[in-house]
Amino acid sequence: VDAKAQAELKEGMKVYNSEPGMKKSWDNVQRMFKCCGVTNKTDWYDVLNGTLPSSCCPGGEEKCDEWSEPCYRKARQWLLDNIPSVLVFGVCIGVVQILALVFSMQMYCQILHAEKSFD
């Protein structure tokens, strides 16, 4: 699972320059977690021709002492640390979807009943 996730993240890095949304996401993650690359900073070398994005730097400069921690490890640890919150959020979303299904079915039955009474 880890290898697959890392491979997918590295694929996402390839569109860093062409997709503004992906660029913003990567920059936000690297600034938030103070990290650089998926497994290390060299992940960016193929994407950015041997350079690093400014979000790998503490002050956002072009040349700097980059963050040394890999983003995958830091994001994975954050997720593990916050797993109860993530689970509660997921359960809440599920409950909302089930309630929406129940209410829509109830509305459908009422409409069907109203149509039959007009016949």
Does the domain at 1-81 match CATH 1.10.1450.10? Answer given as yes
pLDDT band at 61 (very low <50, low <70, confident <90, very high): low
| Predicted confidence (pLDDT) per residue in 81-114, tens digit | 999 999 999 999 999 999 999 999 999 999 998 8
Alpha helices for 1-119 (secondary structure H): 2-13, 20-33, 43-47, 71-81, 83-118
Domain edges within the chain: 1-81, 83-119
CB 22 within 8 A of CB 12: yes
Taking the C-alpha atoms of residue 102 and residue 119, their distance in angstroms, rounded to an integer, is 26
Band of residue 63 on the pLDDT scale cut at 50, 70, 90: low
Q: What is the distance, to the nearest Å, from the Cα of residue 64 to the centroid of all Cα atoms in its chain? A: 27
